[in-house]
Amino acid sequence: MPTYTPPLRDMQFVMHEVLKVTDDFKLMKQHAETDVDTINAVLQEGGKFASEVTFPLNRVGDQEGCKLDTATHEVKTPTGFKEAYHQYVEGGWPALSCDPEYGGQGLPIVVNQAFYEMLNSANQAWTMYPGLTHGAYEALHAHGTPEQKRMYLPKLTSGEWTGTMCLTEPHCGTDLGMLRTKAEPQADGSYKLTGNKIFISAGEHDFVSNIVHLVLARLPDAPQGSKGISLFVVPKFNVNKDGSLGSRNGIWCGGLEHKMGIHGNATAQIVLDGAIGTLVGEPNKGLQAMFVMMNAARIGVGMQSLGLTEVAFQNALAYAKDRIQMRSLSGPKAKDKPADPIIVHPDVRKMLLTAKAYAEGGRALSMYCAFLIDRELHHPDEKVRKDSAEMVALLTPIVKAFITDNGHIATNACMQVFGGHGFISEWGMEQFVRDNRINMIYEGTNTVQSLDLLGRKVLGNQGATLKKFGKLVAQLVEEEGVNEKMAEFINPIAMLGDQMTKFTTELGFKAFQNPDEVGGASVDYLRVAGHLVFGYFWARMAQVALREIEAGNTDPFYQAKLQTARFYFARLFPETLSLMRTARAGVKNLLDTNEALA
C-alpha cells in the first residue's frame, strides 16, 4: 500500500528562503499580518488533512468509482468521499484564500496552492470537487453582478455549495467557437438554456445540496465563432431571493464517462433542457469571464501533476531502499544480504532523481506563479501589479504543460522502479500514472498550451514578456557569474538565455512566412522555455543552499538540494539542445506527408 508524507520542509524552503514571500506580504494591506509562523501552521494542519483524511480514500475512489442513478440523475460518490468533504468544510478549508467580504479567511493564494499540492498528492480525484468550486468562485468574484455575488459567493466560500465549469460539447472541445448550447432571454431578465455538455468534472455528486454550474452558451443574435459566446450561472436548484433553495432546475447528469483514471471524480455528461440561468458579465464576452476560471484551472492542473510526481517519488524511493535485486556492478554493497537494494543501481537513481528534480522544480515554479497572483491582486505598486500579471500570463501555459508532461515522465519512471510490482494495483503506482494522464489533456491540451505560449504570449508581443523573464535570468547570472561554486548552475542558464533570443527570432521569422511553422515548433519550444524557467529556479535554490552551507549550516537538506540541482543540470537540462534542433527542422516534414498518412 502506498504512503504519503507532506513535503513541508521543501515548501517552507521555497516560500521563505527562495521567494521570501512574507517580505512582500508586509507591503500588502490584505496580507500584512501573514507571517512565517502563520503560513507554516496552516500548511502543517493542511498536510494532516491531506495525508490522514483524503489519502486513505485514494485507492477506494479508484476501485469503486462513481455511480449514476439513471432514474433520479443523482450520483453517488465512492465510500468516504462525502464524509471527507464535510470534514473539509468543518475545518474551514474552502475559505482559505477567499475574500473576507464573503466569509473567506483572506490568506494568500500561494498558501492555498501549497495546500492544494498536498491534496492532489493525496487524492486528485477527490480534490477536483473543491478545486472546481474555487474556480467558479474566482470567475463570479471577478465578473458576477452584485446580486450574483450576494447569492452565490458566501455559499461557495463556505463550501455549502460547489461549482463547475461547463464548456465542452460532444462536437467541440478546445474550439469553443463551435459550441451550440442556446440561451433564450426571458421577460424577467433570466435566460433558458438548452444544450448538451460533456466531460464536466464534478458535474454531479452527493456532497452538497446545490451545485453552481458556469455554462457557456449563445444568445439568439450572437455572432458566429468565439466572439458570440456568453457566460451564465445555472444552479442545480433555483435559488429564492432569500437564499433558500427553490425548484429543481432543468440541468441534470445524463451519463458518466468511463475513464482511464480519476475514477473517484464524477466526469458528467450534462443535459440542459430549459435550465434557468443568469448572465455573467457582458453579452458575447463570456470567454473573457470564463478565462478567469480557466487560467486558474490551468495552474491548478499543473499542481495536480506536481502532487502526483511528489507522491510517486516518495513511494518509489522507499521501495528502492527496501527491494533487493542483483549486486552493484562495482561490488556488493549489502554484504549481509543475498542481493543489494536496487537503489545502488545507477539507472534506478536516475529515475528517482528525475522525479525528485521535476517535483522540486515544479514546486518552485508553481509557488512563484501563485505568489505573482498575490502581487497582481494586492501589491501597492501599480507597476508591480502590472508586471506580475504579465509574467503569470507568460508562465501559465508552462505550468500547465511542462509540469504535466514532466508528471507523465516521472510517474512512469517511478512505476518502473517497482518493476512488475508497479504494474499491478496493490502498490498504487499504476494509479498515479493513470490519474496523471488526464492532466496533459484537459484545460486545453498541452499542444494548445504550446501554441498559446509561442503564438500569443511570445510572438504576440514580439517577445517583450519573455525578455522580462530573461532579465531575471541575466540578473542572477550577473550576481553569481564570478562565483566558481555556482558555475555549474549559472553557465547553462546563461547560455540558454542567450540562445533563446536567436531561437525565438528565427521561429518568428519562419512563422511570418508560414503560420504553420508555429504549429510545428511550439511543443518543442514550450519544453525549451520550461527548462529555462526550471533552470532559473534550480539555480536560485542552489544559490540559497550554497550560502547556507558556507555559513556553517549542517542540515543535510541543503546538500540534498545541491545534489539534485547537479543532477538536473547534467541529465535533464541538456534536453534543450535536441529540442531546439527539432523545433528548427521546419514544418515541411510534417505536412508534406499525405502519402505516409493516407
**Residues with a known catalytic role:** 443
> Helix 556-567 vs helix 346-378: angle between axes, to the nearest 10 degrees?
100
Contacts with 243 (C-beta within 8 Å, 6 or more apart), sequence order: 151, 155
> Residue 265 burial by CB count (10 A; 0-12/13-18/19+): exposed, middle or buried?
buried
The closest alpha carbon to 429, from 413, 445, 450, belongs to 413
Give the separation between CA 491 and CA 542, rounded to whole angstroms: 13
At 163, is the secondary structure helix, strand, or coil?
A: strand
Element (H, E) at 341: none
Give the separation between CA 107 and CA 52, rounded to whole angstroms: 23
Quickly list DSSP for 300-337: HHHHHHHHHHHHHHHHHHHHHHH-B-S--TTS-S-TTS
Place of cell 499491478: 424
Residue 453 and residue 526 in contact, taking contact as beta carbons nearer than 8 Å: yes
Contacts with 70 (C-beta within 8 Å, 6 or more apart), sequence order: none
- What would the grid cell of residue 230 be? 456568453
- What would the grid cell of residue 227 be? 466572439
Residue 216 and residue 285 in contact, taking contact as beta carbons nearer than 8 Å: no
Phi, psi of 79, deg, nearest 5 = -55, 125
The partner residues of 69 in beta bridges, in order of sequence, read: 74
Residue 341 and residue 354 in contact, taking contact as beta carbons nearer than 8 Å: no
**Other C-beta atoms lying within 10 Å of the C-beta of residue 101:** 12
- The amino acid present at 207, given as its one-letter code, is F
**Other C-beta atoms lying within 10 Å of the C-beta of residue 67:** 12
Q: How far is CA 176 from CA 277, 393, 440, 441, 515, in A?
A: 19, 20, 19, 16, 21
The closest alpha carbon to 190, from 246, 134, 107, 114, belongs to 246
Place of cell 546563461: 494
Taking 3-state DSSP, the helix, strand and coil percentages for the chain, each rounded to the nearest 5, stand at: 60, 10, 25
Q: How far from chain centre, in Å, is Cα 30?
A: 25
Torsion, Cα of 439, 444, 445, 448 (10° steps) = -150
Place of cell 498550451: 449
Residue 204 and residue 75 in contact, taking contact as beta carbons nearer than 8 Å: yes
Place of cell 521570501: 20
The closest alpha carbon to 355, from 401, 328, 315, 321, belongs to 315
Quickly list DSSP for 497-516: HHHHHHHHHHHHHHHHH-TH
Give the separation between CA 495 and CA 478, rounded to whole angstroms: 13
